[in-house]
Amino acid sequence: MDVGLVRPKVTVVVPVYNCRSTLGRALESVFAQSLGMEHIEIIAVDDGSDDGSAEELDRLAGEHSQLISVHQANSGGPGGPRNVALDQATGEYISFLDADDWLGAEALERMVAMADAHDTDVVVGKYVGVGRSVPERMFRRTVPVTTLAEPDPNLYTTLSVLKLFRRSLLDEHGIRFPVGVLSGEDQIFAAHAYLHARGVSVLADYECYYWVGREDGTSIMQTGGTPAAAYFPRIGDVFELVAAHTEPGELRDRLFARHFEWDVLHWRFDELYLGADEVDRRANESGALTLIERWLTPEVTALLPPHDRLFVHCLQYGLLDELRVIISYHHQGEAPTTVVDKRKAFAAYPYFRDPAVAIPDDCYEITDRLTAGHRLTGLAWADGGLAVRGHALIWRVDTEVQEVTLVLRSKKHPGIEHRVPAERLATPDLVEGRYTYPCAGFAAEITPAALRPPSQWDVYVEVAVEGLVREARLGAVRDDQIVAPGVRLAADGPYVTPYFTETFDNLTVGLAPTGRREAVQVTEAAWARRGRLRLTGRLLDAGPGSGELMFRAELRRRGTEETRLSSAVVDTQGGFTLDVDLRGAPGGRWDLWGEVTAGAATARIRMAALARPPGPSPCSAARQAEPYEAKGGDLSIRVTDRRAVRALKRIRAWVQSPRS
């Protein structure tokens, strides 16, 4: 047995056809992988190139032993050479690389690590568009494991094969490419893999794949793709594949909608369609209509965006002149006006409510697609309460008629809410994709006195127009400088704490009737005189108009009603000096409470343990006092008999001393 033969971790498959100028760059990006070439096998299949690509491939193979070059007659598309490479591959994983593109230096190492760690069969590494657009939404965050059954619509956004696949998945289910197809072969392969994958990973925190658009506009997609007569039957195969591997219902409808939106309509009814001759247009119309009649259900239609529903309606009813007008309008780059009527919203594409054409309103409706756009731009204490500023709108609806309201909902008491009407402000426009929308700015002030009973209140922003209402949790989307403004004593007593939640980073306002320990900050603690613990610090900002601040402490002996009160000296800035008097205190454990008064408001606070507590100090001839941290981080003071302490120390010293 040759112990030097080790199965490669990854086989990189590269179809080669007339790409001599870019082939070297693509392959060099593999040679430079951080995974190490000892773990990589490259199989590049030349598909009958006549521009010198074959010779360049052989030259590189002569310099790199891990590069296997294969030559064959032209097969008519990338599927054939990819299949040849798949049949020869020995790697645990398969990575597809087109000869126009290149990989990030750590791409294979990171994607393999993701698949190994989470036992996933497919890894989608982040794409970077070079002279072309690429899917972006699916790379907003890294997702260790997901499947098609998850409700995330982004996973199925791209069905390119420029991913990492576990080879056993492909071989076990016979997943291969259709041969002789110029475009559309990726959808069949990737959809088949997704349908069988135990799990899929999305790697969004590293730029893995640099996807290049040809500057000369000669790529298959740029020149119109496969002729309609060959293209639509292949997309029909994708529908057959999905139907064979899913049950009727929500998942199948979602996948069908994706294929209709992109493969049937988006790529075939665009500017190229408008500029095509009549024969080509009729072929596209006929091919699309065949799939519409076979696979499009009302449930799938409802999932399509309005322009696609309009395309479908025009094809079904022979409105071909109208179809070209709608396509031209859609691709001019401006969002259609949104009409709100009887709590429903419609995208006013051409022929909306035109009685001469009579296209149903359902084709234009976007009610379920509208969401609230929002951003928090200001959060600070003001004279009357918590001042909140931001912008919010229902996307695509005229902001001049929108009303914004803050809605606070109690966590502890379901069904109880407090509404704060917001003032409109002028703010910059918002951008969504290629569209720009005027924005509804707002300013509102949350008055703590209105929030009853005391609770934790989640803050929502609600936007309404003509009875159409949308809302969203406020806070997670905010300007970088926004921070929670700190604790404050409300005018009627409770302590108010605005904060951003740990899980989703949204704004919540908490009210606590006994206050928060953070409201009293002790900066120094020391024994001032015998039996007197001096605490120096600062009280929270109770807010403008709250009145003179006063502070006193209450010592309460556990298990008894015995208390001791000490008043503090408080300056105009809230700084205080407080002497806690323990002279003559009987033995036991004493808990320390603080009482803050601002104007007519008073609140009690359990004092927090000291960061640097002083050691024990005599409080009488027989006893000593020592601050310590009680359960929960509270400040308590232990008063003990000095003679018992000295005796205990002698006993410990005697036990620990060496004895003969």
pLDDT digits (tens, 9 = 90+) for 196-218: 999 999 999 999 999 998 654 44
- Judged against a pLDDT cut of 80, whether residue 353 lies above it is answered with yes
- Residues 150-188 pLDDT 10s: 867 688 888 999 999 999 999 999 999 988 766 668 889
**What's the pLDDT at 220?**
46
Cβ contact 637:617 at 8 Å: no
Q: How far apart are CA 610 and CA 530, in angstroms?
A: 19
Mean local confidence (pLDDT), 438-458: 85
User: Per mean pLDDT, which of 53-62, 385-394, 434-443 is the most reliable?
Assistant: 53-62
Sign of CA dihedral 249, 250, 251, 255: positive
Top pLDDT among 536 and 428 is at: 536
Q: How far apart are CA 20 and CA 7, in angstroms?
A: 30
Mean local confidence (pLDDT), 436-458: 83
Longest dimension (CA), the chain: 115
| Helix, strand or coil, per DSSP, at residue 298 | helix
**What's the pLDDT at 376?**
94
Cβ contact 465:402 at 8 Å: yes
Considering the chain, what is the average pLDDT of its residues?
A: 89
Mean local confidence (pLDDT), 614-622: 90
CA 19 to mean position of chain CA atoms: 38
Q: What is the number of residues in the chain?
A: 660
**What's the pLDDT at 2?**
43
Mean local confidence (pLDDT), 361-384: 92
Mean local confidence (pLDDT), 348-361: 97
Quote the pTM value.
Answer: 0.73
- Judged against a pLDDT cut of 90, whether residue 39 lies above it is answered with yes
Backbone φ/ψ region at 564: left (φ over 0), alpha (ψ -120 to 50), beta? beta
**What's the pLDDT at 135?**
87
| Helix, strand or coil, per DSSP, at residue 379 | strand
Cβ contact 406:474 at 8 Å: yes
Q: Which of 522-526, 559-563, 654-658 has the lowest mean pLDDT?
A: 654-658
- Judged against a pLDDT cut of 50, whether residue 609 lies above it is answered with yes
- Judged against a pLDDT cut of 60, whether residue 639 lies above it is answered with yes
- Judged against a pLDDT cut of 80, whether residue 331 lies above it is answered with yes
**What's the pLDDT at 200?**
96
**What's the pLDDT at 599?**
67
Top pLDDT among 567 and 604 is at: 567
Q: At what angle do helices 185-196 and 228-245 cross, to 10 degrees?
A: 10
Mean local confidence (pLDDT), 437-466: 87
DSSP class of residue 337 equals: P
In this structure, which amino acid lies at residue 106? E
- Residues 282-330 pLDDT 10s: 999 999 999 999 999 999 999 999 999 999 999 999 999 999 999 999 9
DSSP class of residue 608 equals: B
- Residues 63-100 pLDDT 10s: 999 999 999 999 988 999 999 999 999 999 999 999 99
- Judged against a pLDDT cut of 60, whether residue 380 lies above it is answered with yes
Mean local confidence (pLDDT), 592-618: 84
Both tokens of 592, joined, read: 């320390």
**What's the pLDDT at 529?**
84
Q: How far apart are CA 567 and CA 574, in angstroms?
A: 14
| Helix, strand or coil, per DSSP, at residue 319 | coil
Q: Which of 418-427, 583-592, 643-652 has the lowest mean pLDDT?
A: 643-652
- Judged against a pLDDT cut of 80, whether residue 644 lies above it is answered with no
Cβ contact 33:107 at 8 Å: yes
**What's the pLDDT at 341?**
92
- Please name the helix (run of DSSP H) or strand (run of DSSP E) that holds residue 22, with its range, or none: helix 20-31
**What's the pLDDT at 431?**
65
Cβ contact 109:10 at 8 Å: no
- Residues 395-407 pLDDT 10s: 888 777 789 999 9
Mean local confidence (pLDDT), 422-437: 70
Top pLDDT among 655 and 230 is at: 230
Top pLDDT among 262 and 432 is at: 262
Site of tokens 């000593």: 624
Both tokens of 139, joined, read: 């790379």
**What's the pLDDT at 155?**
86
- Please name the helix (run of DSSP H) or strand (run of DSSP E) that holds residue 376, with its range, or none: strand 372-381
User: Per mean pLDDT, which of 465-479, 518-532, 603-617 is the most reliable?
Assistant: 465-479
Mean local confidence (pLDDT), 379-396: 89
**What's the pLDDT at 660?**
47
Residue 157 has a CB neighbour count (10 Å cut-off) of 16
Mean local confidence (pLDDT), 513-531: 80
pLDDT band at 491 (very low <50, low <70, confident <90, very high): low
